[in-house]
Chain A
Amino acid sequence: MYAYDEYDRTLLAERVNEFRGQVARRLTGELTEDEFRSLRLMNGVYLQLHAYMLRVAVPYGTLSSHQLRRLAQVARRYDRGYGHFTTRQNIQFNWIKLAELPDAIADLAAAGLHGMQTSGNCVRNITTDQWAGVAPDEIEDARVWAELLRQHLTLHPEFSFLPRKFKIAVGAAHHDRAAVAIHDLGVRLRRNSGGEVGFEISVGGGLGRTPFLAKVIKPFLKKRDFLSYIEAVLRLYNQYGRRDNIYKARIKMLVHDLGAEKFAQEVEAEWSAIRDGALALDPAVVAEIAARFRYPGYAPLDDNPPELTAARADARFAAWLDNAVHNHKQTGYAIVTLSLKPVGKPPGDCTAEQMDAIAEIADRYSFGEIRVGHEQNLVLPHVAQRDLPPLWRALDKIGVATPNVGLVSDIIACPGLDYCSLANARAIPVAQELSRRYRDLDLARALGRLHINISGCINACGQHQVGHIGILGVEKNGEEFYQISIGGRADEHARLGALIGPAVPYEEVADVIEDIVETYLDLRARPDEMFIETAERVGVEPFKERVYATR
């Protein structure tokens, strides 16, 4: 856990006061809605279809049990008793009243939580691998660098009114669990041939209307240059990013227009003027931040304790163990994923009761720590393997032990037309229907890893373009239609999916997905060839033929 000190707490308290004043000025009419808009957005407050929505950041996905309890309390006191975890390590509350927002934000701030910069044209919540600090395949704990960036870019005097939003992800592991390639700026820790650890920097990733994967502009950046280089990127973007057309305002368009190489040269030029200035990183500053990430006092335990072997006799437990539990850096411990994708429920939703129960469970089994992942699931990062059987029973009781992590029913979906004022079509009911179709876990397991992503409009909050199967809701003559794509992925082999053909009506989406899945089963070279591998090998055609043959 990162331990806040009085500087962090003072800043949050000052932020609450400022926002309270802004809301008061809006309520008296001193601020117009247009003037208030960007102020509320910079505090994570959107005006949605039915009410104001508050988006709260979970920086680099790390929550304490105390914070999770506070989220539960806010859900109960100001909302309708639940929250929704998003693909960018945030949680959203959908039913908050404007006049109560300052109190909700004050309650959150008292637990070190906030909605600062979770929306608006500024640098958004900085995300990482939900396994950071415990993943066996990581170079370093990515959260240290994410926290350094979070601090540097909080209320930045130069970059708070950018052309458009700016999303950063930091990954430090061999496997990219942070979807770095679809971010405006991606950071991946790298070790060079001399054994030195630094960063690979990529820019210009992003989905939406014009999707691009980020391009590497700096293969190896030294640690001391971390802040100055990123400052140079942001300074270029702030000055030269387009402001005349909202659809062309993201940095990806600037990178595309200039070409990645030219963009990189421009960054180098700006960077050379500031790299030896006040931003050159003092190792003591990094060490100071690293020291405030506290790791639990692990007990000396062995892997595969007898309790675990014995519990495997229960087939349900064994299925969950094989699906939701992963290796930990520390011998005798495990990383456990909590599925927020139960059959027939909206992906990523969590009730206040579940939050309280998970906080309790985390205190007992995970040193009071919880993580939020971009797949809209939660993680307990420090579980002793011998505790897995009782932990499973506790999780199963509250409905977060569905063994579908990474499988066909572990669907990523945006809120869609049920909540969002931008949406063209519903996303949640599509996810619910698909999760019902694939409720048979033996079938889901037989299909292997398969990511379905659903967006209710082209803004692509459900990241459909990087789903193994992507579903995009569009509107045609007042009706909901869905475009289907396949072959996308957001990991270290990131690529964008390809459309298989004309959009299909709402009623047919689940049938079409079943056709695609059956085609995969027919075509896969071996049982362990993943859907995405088959799709990459055979291309779109066979899927297209099958889907449209009878339509």
Chain B
Amino acid sequence: MPLVKDGRIIEDRYLRLAEGAAVPAHGAIILPASRFLADADNVLRRDGPTGVLWPNDRSVGELAPWLGGLALIGLSFPTYKDGRAYSQARILRERYGFGGELRATGQVLRDQFLFMLRAGFDAFEVVKPADAAAFEEASRRYSVFFQPAADGRITVARARLQRASSARQAVERAVSARGVRRHSAAAGAGMAASPSMIHVRGPRERG
């Protein structure tokens, strides 16, 4: 099963351990939730990055004490129709500020990539090789986003206001004999107003 990370197909450096397996002293590992919780502090003292596979029916708030030490959280899509992990991902990124790898596991298909990216996932265990190969295309299907989310893309509402304010400023500049007044919003607005509309990515809106 191909792993896509930061937009590229890569080798998975993590070893996924089963429930009863011994935890190696070195190397990158992913533990089941119960195994991790049973001995979290010790596990995190190991030499090597540690990840946890978290079920979608358990509050991610339980992981709060260890988020600083976790390198990876795998969230689960038992079927692509089960969207609980989208909420978990956003809460981890936006509420807890989790900065490690957020990996989508389970039935991960091409048509979910963009939703997942927006919710804060940055790694994907993709079921079909053809879908993994199409990651770049699928993640660029849309250039227009209405919601503030974990990816921090500028929203349409914000872009519209910036465009309106930059238009106002242009008028002011034109009528003003005393020169140009600049606003911090104007830089992003220029990009948002570009006619092609392919990359509406301005200042981050997180927070």
Contact = CB atoms under 8 A, between A and B. Distances in A.
Interface of A: 5-7, 10-11, 14, 17-18, 22, 30, 35, 38-39, 121, 151-152, 154-162, 235, 238-239, 243, 273, 277-279, 282, 284-285, 288
Contact of B161 (A18, A157, A160, A284): A284
Given A157-B119, A158-B115, A160-B83, 17 more contacts: A6-B195, A10-B197, A18-B111, A151-B156, A155-B115, A157-B115, A157-B149, A157-B150, A157-B151, A160-B115, A162-B83, A238-B83, A239-B84, A239-B87, A277-B94, A278-B148, A288-B157
Contacts of A243: 82, 84
A278 B142 contact: no
B100 to A, nearest CB: 19
Contacts of B80: 35, 38, 161
Contacts of B112: 161
A223 to B, nearest CB: 15
A154 B81 contact: no
A158 B205 CA distance: 17
B17 interface: no
A121 to B, nearest CB: 7
Interface residues of B, number: 42
Contacts of B83: 158-162, 238
Contacts, number: 101
Given A7-B159, A155-B146, A278-B205, A18 B86 contact: no
26 contacts: A10-B143, A10-B197, A11-B144, A14-B144, A17-B141, A18-B142, A30-B130, A39-B111, A151-B146, A151-B157, A154-B146, A156-B146, A156-B147, A157-B114, A157-B118, A157-B151, A159-B86, A160-B86, A161-B80, A161-B115, A162-B83, A238-B83, A238-B86, A243-B82, A277-B207, A288-B160
B109 interface: yes
A238 B197 CA distance: 31
Interface string B153-195: 0001101110010000000000000000000000000000001
Contact of A158 (B144, B149, B157): B149
A239 to B, nearest CB: 5
B46 interface: no
Contacts of B45: none
A496 B15 CA distance: 57
B103 interface: no
A5 B86 contact: no
B197 A235 contact: no
Contacts of A38: 80-81
A158 B80 CA distance: 13
Nearest to B110: A25
B142 A161 contact: no
Contacts of B164: 288
Interface string B127-145: 0001000000000011111
A158 B90 contact: yes
Q: Could you tell me the dominant secondary structure of chain A's interface residues?
A: helix
Interface of B: 80-84, 86-88, 90, 94-95, 109, 111-112, 114-116, 118-119, 130, 141-151, 156-157, 159-161, 164, 195, 197, 205-207
Contacts of B157: 151, 282, 285, 288
Contacts of B207: 277-278
Contacts of A277: 94, 148, 207
A158 B111 contact: no
Given A158-B119, A278-B207, A152 B81 contact: no
Given A14-B144, A278-B148, A288-B164, A161 B109 contact: no
Nearest to B134: A21
A11 B87 CA distance: 24
B160 A18 contact: no
Nearest to A273: B95
B144 A7 contact: yes
Given A10-B197, A30-B130, A278-B205, A157 B159 contact: no
Contact of A282 (B87, B161, B197): B161
B165 to A, nearest CB: 9
A460 B151 CA distance: 40
4 nearest A-B pairs in the assembled complex, by CB-CB distance: A161-B83, A157-B118, A278-B148, A11-B144
Given A30-B130, A152-B146, A278-B205, A121 B81 contact: yes
Contacts of A235: 87
B119 to A, nearest CB: 5
Nearest to B196: A10
A11 B200 CA distance: 12
B84 A238 contact: yes
Nearest to A120: B81
The winner among B119, B147, B164 for most chain A CB atoms within 10 A is B147
A35 B159 CA distance: 34
Given A14-B141, A14-B143, A35-B109, A158 B161 contact: no
Nearest to A288: B160
A541 B77 CA distance: 52
B148 A279 contact: yes
Nearest to B117: A157
B142 A155 contact: yes
B135 to A, nearest CB: 14
A22 B205 contact: no
A155 B118 CA distance: 10
A157 B86 contact: yes
Contacts of A39: 111
A17 B142 CA distance: 10
Contacts of A152: 146-147
Contact of A7 (B115, B197, B205, B206): B197
Nearest to B146: A151
B161 A161 contact: no
Contacts of A162: 83
Contacts of A284: 161
Given A39-B111, A151-B156, A285 B161 contact: yes
Nearest to A22: B111
A6 B163 CA distance: 12
Contacts of B159: 7
Given A238-B83, A288-B160, A157 B147 contact: yes
A230 B90 CA distance: 16
Nearest to B77: A161
Contacts of A278: 148, 205-207
